[in-house]
C-alpha cells in the first residue's frame, strides 16, 4: 500500500476534494463531452448540440457516480470560443460539479475564462491547461481574470521520462502557474501513447512524492489509438480503458480522464471498488482517517 513521504495537498474545487494519501479521499473520474466524434455535437463551429442525448449521458454518469460515492468532473471540449462558452454555461446549469474548460489553445481559453468569471463560475471552472506553449501574456490575463483552478500539462517532446517531467514541472510549469496566481493545480502527466501509461503512472507517483500535488492523466486517449483492440468490439475497448484507469489509480493517481462520458457507467463502479479497497487498508491497517463520503461506506452494504 502506497504512503507518500511528502505531506499531500487536498484541494477543494467546487463541491469536490481532490488529492491526499491513497485511500484518504475518493479518486476523481473525469468524463468528456463535445469531443470530436461525440454524437451529441452536431456542429462544433456553432455549438449546436443534441440536448436530449447530452442530458441522458450526463444523468447516467451523475447517477453512477453518486451511487458509488465517486466525485466527478466534466471535461468540456471545444475548438471555438463562443461554442465552448455556451457549452460551459449549459453544462454548469445542469450539474453543480466542477468542469474543465478544455479549449484547443489560449485564443479560446482566455476569453471563455473571462466570460465565466462574469458569470461567477470560477470556483468550478478548471482551465485546461497551462503547458509548454502558454505565453506570459496569457498568464497575466489569467491573473487579471482571477482564475483559481488549472490543469498543468507536463507534455512535451523533450519531456518523456519521469525525471524529465519533474524537472519541467519544477523549473517551468509551476512558476508559470504561480505567475498566473493560480491557487489549485492538478498535474496531468501527459500520456504519449499506450505503452507510456506505465511511465505516466510512475510520474504521478513521483510528483506526489516530491510536490504533494494531485496528479493523474488521460489513459483513455492512448487506448482509443489502439487499433488492434477494435477487432474485439466496444466491450474490449471499454475494458481496456477501465484496466488502464485502475492501473493509474493503484499507482497513486488522484484522477483519471476516462474519455467519453457515456463510458462512465462501465468504469466508475470498478474505480469505486479499488478506492474502497485502498480506503479499507488505510482505515483498518494504518489506522488513519478517510473521507466521510468514501465508497467504502456505500458499495459494500449489500
pLDDT at 157: 82
Using a pLDDT cut of 90, give the percent of the chain over it.
94
Backbone φ and ψ for 199, nearest 5 degrees, come out as -65, -40
What average pLDDT score do residues 220-238 get? 93
What average pLDDT score do residues 26-41 get? 97
Distances (CA, A) of 176 to 9, 160, 235: 19, 20, 41
* Chain length of the chain: 302
What average pLDDT score do residues 167-189 get? 98
Dihedral sign (CA 97, 98, 104, 109): positive
As a whole number of angstroms, the distance between CA 155 and CA 196 comes to 12
pLDDT at 221: 87
Structural contact between residues 127 and 136, judged by C-beta atoms closer than 8 angstroms: no
pLDDT at 291: 94
Residue 294's pLDDT band, with cuts at 50, 70 and 90, is: very high
Q: How many CB atoms lie within 10 A of CB 276?
A: 22
pLDDT at 56: 98
pLDDT at 78 over 70: yes
| Pairing verdict, β 41-43 and 99-103 | unpaired
> Residue 70 burial by CB count (10 A; 0-12/13-18/19+): exposed, middle or buried?
buried
As a whole number of angstroms, the distance between CA 116 and CA 76 comes to 13
Tell me if the bond preceding 38 is cis, omega within 30° of 0. no
Number of domain units in the chain: 1
Mean pLDDT over each residue of the chain, to the nearest integer: 96
Contacts of 40 (CB under 8 A, 6+ apart): 33, 34, 49, 50, 51, 53, 54, 57
pLDDT at 1 over 80: no
Of 229, 219, 227, 170, the C-alpha closest to 199 is: 219
pLDDT at 237: 94
In a domain, 5, yes or no: no
Number of H helices, E strands in the chain: 10, 12
What average pLDDT score do residues 235-253 get? 96
Structural contact between residues 20 and 8, judged by C-beta atoms closer than 8 angstroms: yes
* Residue 74: strand pairing partners: 31, 99
Residue 156's pLDDT band, with cuts at 50, 70 and 90, is: confident
What average pLDDT score do residues 254-276 get? 97
In a domain, 46, yes or no: yes
What average pLDDT score do residues 283-296 get? 94
In a domain, 18, yes or no: no
In a domain, 8, yes or no: no
pLDDT at 203 over 90: yes
pLDDT at 301 over 80: no
Residue 302's pLDDT band, with cuts at 50, 70 and 90, is: low
In a domain, 17, yes or no: no
In a domain, 15, yes or no: no
Q: What is the extent of the structural domain holding 59?
A: 23-297
In a domain, 2, yes or no: no
Of 213, 87, 71, 223, the C-alpha closest to 152 is: 213
Residue 299's pLDDT band, with cuts at 50, 70 and 90, is: confident
In a domain, 302, yes or no: no
As a whole number of angstroms, the distance between CA 302 and CA 294 comes to 16
Q: Which position has the grid cell 482564475? A: 147
How close are the terminal C-alpha atoms of the chain, in Å? 26
Span of 73-77, 157-161, 202-206, 280-284 with lowest mean pLDDT:
157-161
Span of 9-13, 127-131, 295-299 with lowest mean pLDDT:
295-299
Q: C-alpha angle with apex 220: 172 to 251, nearest 5 degrees?
A: 65
Contacts of 243 (CB under 8 A, 6+ apart): none
pLDDT at 212: 98
pLDDT at 95 over 70: yes
Q: What is the CATH number of the domain that holds 51?
A: 3.20.20.20
Provide the 8-state DSSP code for 71.
Answer: -
Amino acid at each position: 500500500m502506497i504512503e507518500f513521504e511528502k505531506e499531500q495537498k487536498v484541494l477543494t474545487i467546487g463541491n469536490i476534494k481532490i488529492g491526499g494519501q491513497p485511500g484518504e479521499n475518493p479518486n476523481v473520474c473525469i468524463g468528456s463531452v463535445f469531443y470530436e466524434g461525440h454524437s451529441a455535437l452536431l456542429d462544433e463551429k456553432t455549438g449546436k448540440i443534441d440536448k436530449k442525448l447530452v442530458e441522458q449521458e450526463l444523468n447516467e454518469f451523475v447517477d453512477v457516480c453518486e451511487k458509488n460515492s465517486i466525485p466527478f468532473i466534466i471535461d468540456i471540449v471545444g475548438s471555438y470560443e463562443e461554442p465552448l462558452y455556451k457549452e460551459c454555461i449549459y453544462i454548469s446549469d445542469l450539474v453543480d460539479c466542477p468542469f474543465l474548460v478544455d479549449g484547443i489553445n489560449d485564443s479560446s481559453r482566455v476569453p471563455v475564462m473571462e466570460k465565466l468569471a462574469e458569470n461567477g463560475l470560477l470556483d468550478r471552472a478548471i482551465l485546461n491547461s497551462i503547458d509548454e506553449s502558454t505565453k506570459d501574456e496569457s498568464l497575466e490575463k489569467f491573473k487579471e481574470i482571477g482564475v483559481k483552478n488549472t490543469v498543468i500539462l507536463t507534455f512535451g517532446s523533450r519531456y518523456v521520462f519521469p525525471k524529465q517531467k519533474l524537472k519541467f514541472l519544477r523549473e517551468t510549469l509551476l512558476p508559470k502557474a504561480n505567475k498566473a496566481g493560480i491557487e489549485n493545480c492538478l498535474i496531468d502527466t501527459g500520456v504519449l501513447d499506450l505503452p507510456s501509461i506505465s511511465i505516466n503512472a510512475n510520474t504521478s507517483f513521483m510528483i506526489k512524492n516530491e510536490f504533494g500535488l494531485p496528479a493523474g492523466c488521460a489513459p483513455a486517449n492512448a487506448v482509443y489509438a489502439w487499433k488492434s483492440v477494435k477487432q474485439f468490439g466496444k466491450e474490449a475497448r471499454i475494458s481496456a480503458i477501465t484496466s488502464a484507469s485502475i492501473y493509474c489509480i493503484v499507482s497513486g493517481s488522484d484522477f483519471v480522464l476516462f474519455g467519453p462520458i457515456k463510458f462512465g457507467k462501465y468504469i466508475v463502479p470498478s474505480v469505486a471498488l479499488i478506492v474502497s479497497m485502498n480506503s479499507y487498508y488505510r482505515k483498518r491497517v494504518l489506522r488513519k482517517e478517510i473521507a466521510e463520503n468514501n465508497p467504502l461506506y456505500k458499495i459494500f452494504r449489500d
